[in-house]
């Protein structure tokens, strides 16, 4: 029986199974687990969430929950039975967990209750690897093991705590077995075991590996540091373009790596800061050729997803990206290897498929960026880039500045360390809302219906409105169109840098969609293409869809992003008060 057949069996018995699950309380089923569940607000992943009973318990205790369930019918029942703004429902299934892996989240606690017996023995090591990459340092995986006949008998396989202990040893997790418990439904011959698996500290080995490359690896240039820094930035600002290539690697477009590579190096080259011992004014750097020099009038911030270039600048950018790709392939990607090994950590695949010259207009979108090939990043490193950038990036910048200082002083040119750090600063988008403000004013003049504050529903006037970042700019500097929304001044002052709650987003959805449609999708000047490109690049849970389904998927992706911001930044939450007109 394959996995689709198992899901079909559950779909066909959804009423019976829901009644079984809901007849029991979380506390009676999982009593041995309760002391091991985080007490403060935590990120929880409930795999095989069934009727939603366990997810609801976690939510009631202040946790944020991703409830992943393969059965569409069961998921629909769960949403009705346990509506909660703290639960994000996701149709996803083992052994792939494709949608969950795309979220970029890591979790404090992962529960697989009555799930492991459905995983074929041949797939279990693979599933275990995935689970370990989803776990935060210090986090816990809890797996309940059912022994005895199952009511969907053909869909189960024998389970063993010894097997899980062996898998834990292979992945560096600690293992503990809680006391066995009887079946709460009093089914004859059925017993349960609960296994706890914990990660000490980083757990995946990603941070020690990165530390080794940053600090200990031999460096004849700044290229190794530049590649790591580029990948940190891709994970931070364009993770929506990443793809799960297989169980162990995440693929990112090589064109995007090259784009950010040029963006990072541009201020350094233009200020004649050496990047290798014999380097001066960019000479000796393979990627700094004629095409790179022709980008002198392009600001680093313009080198981003969604930007449009024309004419000779477009042609120069294509060639500069090709030059950067070749340098990345031959140098840092080739020489960054696992310790005591010649195996490359970052694998490059695919050929460049774009011509050297382009038509009059070049749009930096996903198709263009993938046309340069792909870079495969180990999954544990990708999650480290996503979750620990606040620790990784400062270490990279410090080491990079130290190298540049050494290179400069070896040529008798003293440099200021703080100035080097300033040149390495990533230029986030300016908190510029002028264009969207102009669109709001235009809507006020042209529409018979008033433009509303998306949070309060109050009509806005030209004198008393702000353009608000849905997710706070201070925590996540995103100036994408979808993230810019009209708000009453008083309401926006209340919100400031707080994180809007799930219930507020849901209550405001109709007003948000109305604004998006009127401001960005309306003729004669439509921003639909830019809107879609930006959303697809910045929201990892969003997949390309059309029509009304796009907004549906966009809201789901926003809620997933919201959860990640709350988990990563511990932001205070906000709900609107009544604002005066």
How many other C-beta atoms can be found within 10 angstroms of the C-beta atom of residue 469? 23
Supply 176's token pair: 């503990």
Lowest-pLDDT range of 48-52, 87-91, 425-429, 498-502: 425-429
- In the block, residue with structure tokens 């750097």: 285
pLDDT digits (tens, 9 = 90+) for 459-468: 999 999 999 9
Asked if omega into 524 is within 30° of 0 (cis), the reply is: yes
| Residue 578 pLDDT > 60 | no
CATH of domain 3-198: 3.40.50.150
Q: What is the pLDDT of residue 280?
A: 63
- How does residue 107 score in pLDDT terms, banded at 50, 70 and 90? very high
DSSP-assigned beta bridge partners for residue 486: 467
Burial class from Cβ neighbours inside 10 Å (0-12, 13-18, 19+) for residue 280 reads middle
Q: What is the pLDDT of residue 184?
A: 63
H or E segment to which residue 27 belongs: helix 26-29
pLDDT digits (tens, 9 = 90+) for 498-509: 999 999 999 999
**Where are the domains positioned within the chain?**
3-198, 206-423, 434-574
| Residue 388 pLDDT > 90 | no
Q: What are phi and psi of 174, to 5 degrees?
A: -85, 150
Q: What is the pLDDT of residue 329?
A: 97
Spatial CB neighbours of 276, under 8 Å, sequence gap ≥ 6: 220, 221, 222, 284, 285, 407
Residue 56's Cα: distance from chain center in Å? 24
**DSSP state string for 514-559:** HHHHHHHS-SSS--HHHHHHHHHHH-TT-----THHHHHHHHHHHH
The C-alpha R_g of the chain, in whole angstroms, comes to 26
H or E segment to which residue 191 belongs: strand 191-198
Contact assessment for residue 63 and residue 84, using Cβ atoms and an 8 Å cutoff: no
**DSSP state string for 423-487:** HT---PPP---HHHHHHHHHHHHH-SSPPBPTTT-PBP-TTSEEEEESS-TTTS----GGGEEEE
Supply 79's token pair: 């949403």
Spatial CB neighbours of 350, under 8 Å, sequence gap ≥ 6: 254, 372, 373, 374
Supply 513's token pair: 């969609």
CA distance 138 to 107: 10
H or E segment to which residue 85 belongs: none
H or E segment to which residue 292 belongs: helix 290-293
pLDDT digits (tens, 9 = 90+) for 353-370: 876 666 678 999 999 999
CA distance 497 to 468: 10
For residue 213, give the DSSP letter: I
- Report pTM: 0.79
pLDDT digits (tens, 9 = 90+) for 206-265: 887 887 888 778 888 999 999 999 999 999 889 999 998 788 899 999 999 999 999 999
Measured CA to CA in angstroms, residue 141 lies from 106, 113, 182, 333, 462 at distances of 12, 11, 21, 34, 53
pLDDT digits (tens, 9 = 90+) for 13-72: 899 889 989 999 999 899 989 999 999 899 999 999 999 999 999 999 999 999 999 999
Average pLDDT, the chain: 90
Strands (E), 228-298: 243-244, 249-253
Spatial CB neighbours of 392, under 8 Å, sequence gap ≥ 6: 207, 210, 214, 228, 232, 384, 385
For residue 131, give the DSSP letter: H
CA nearest to 389, candidates 106, 125, 188: 106
CA distance 123 to 226: 37
Supply 57's token pair: 């318990």
CA nearest to 184, candidates 58, 72, 20: 20
| Residue 376 pLDDT > 90 | yes
């Amino acid at each position: 029986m394959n996995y689709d057949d198992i899901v079909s069996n559950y779909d066909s018995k959804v009423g019976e199974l829901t009644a079984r699950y809901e007849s029991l309380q979380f506390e009676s089923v999982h009593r041995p687990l309760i002391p091991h569940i985080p007490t403060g607000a935590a990120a929880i992943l409930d795999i095989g969430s069934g009727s939603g009973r366990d997810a609801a318990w976690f939510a009631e205790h202040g946790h944020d929950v991703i409830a992943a369930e393969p059965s569409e019918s069961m998921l629909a029942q769960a949403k009705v039975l346990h509506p909660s703004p703290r639960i994000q429902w996701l149709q996803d299934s083992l052994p792939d967990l494709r949608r969950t892996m795309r979220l970029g989240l890591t979790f404090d606690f992962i529960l697989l209750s009555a799930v492991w017996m459905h995983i074929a023995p041949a797939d279990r090591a693979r599933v275990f690897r995935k689970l370990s990459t989803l776990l935060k340092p210090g986090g816990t995986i809890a797996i309940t093991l059912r022994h005895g006949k199952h009511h969907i008998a053909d869909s189960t396989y024998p389970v063993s705590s010894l097997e899980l202990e062996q898998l834990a040893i292979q992945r560096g997790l600690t293992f503990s077995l809680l006391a066995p418990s009887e079946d709460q439904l009093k089914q004859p011959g059925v017993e349960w075991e609960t296994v706890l698996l914990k990660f000490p500290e980083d757990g995946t080995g990603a941070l020690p590996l990165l530390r080794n490359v940053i600090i200990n690896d031999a460096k004849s240039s700044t290229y190794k540091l530049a590649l790591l820094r580029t990948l940190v930035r891709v994970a931070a600002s364009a993770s929506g373009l990443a793809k799960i290539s297989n169980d162990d690697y995440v693929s990112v477009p090589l064109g995007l790596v090259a784009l950010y590579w040029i963006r990072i190096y541009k201020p350094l080259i233009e200020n004649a800061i050496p990047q290798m011992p014999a380097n001066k004014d960019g000479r000796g750097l393979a990627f700094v050729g004629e095409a790179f020099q022709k980008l002198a009038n392009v600001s680093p911030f313009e080198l981003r997803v969604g930007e449009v270039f024309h004419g000779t600048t477009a042609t120069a950018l294509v060639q500069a990206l090709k030059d950067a790709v070749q340098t990345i392939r031959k140098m840092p990607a080739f020489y960054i290897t696992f310790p005591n090994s010649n195996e490359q950590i970052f694998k490059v695949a695919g050929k460049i498929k774009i011509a050297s010259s382009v038509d009059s207009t070049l749009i930096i979108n996903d198709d263009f960026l993938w046309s340069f090939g792909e870079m495969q990043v180990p999954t544990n490193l990708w999650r480290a880039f996503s979750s620990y950038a606040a620790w990784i990036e400062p270490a990279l910048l410090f080491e990079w500045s130290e190298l540049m200082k050494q290179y400069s002083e070896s040529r008798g040119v003293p440099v200021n360390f703080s100035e080097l750090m300033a040149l390495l600063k990533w230029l986030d988008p300016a908190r510029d809302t002028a264009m969207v403000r102009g669109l709001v004013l235009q809507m006020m003049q042209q529409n018979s219906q008033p433009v509303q504050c998306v949070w309060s529903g109050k009509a806005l006037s030209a004198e008393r409105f702000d353009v608000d970042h849905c997710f706070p700019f201070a925590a996540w500097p995103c100036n994408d169109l979808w993230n810019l929304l009209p708000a009453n001044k008083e309401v926006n002052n209340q919100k400031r840098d707080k994180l809007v709650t799930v219930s507020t987003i849901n209550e405001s959805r109709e007003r948000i969609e109305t604004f998006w449609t009127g401001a960005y999708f309306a003729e004669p000047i439509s921003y639909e293409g830019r809107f879609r490109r930006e959303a697809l690049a910045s929201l990892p849970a969003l997949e390309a869809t059309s029509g009304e389904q796009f907004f549906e998927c966009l809201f789901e992706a926003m809620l997933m992003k919201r959860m990640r911001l709350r988990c990563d930044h511990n932001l205070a939450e906000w709900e609107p008060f009544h604002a005066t007109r």
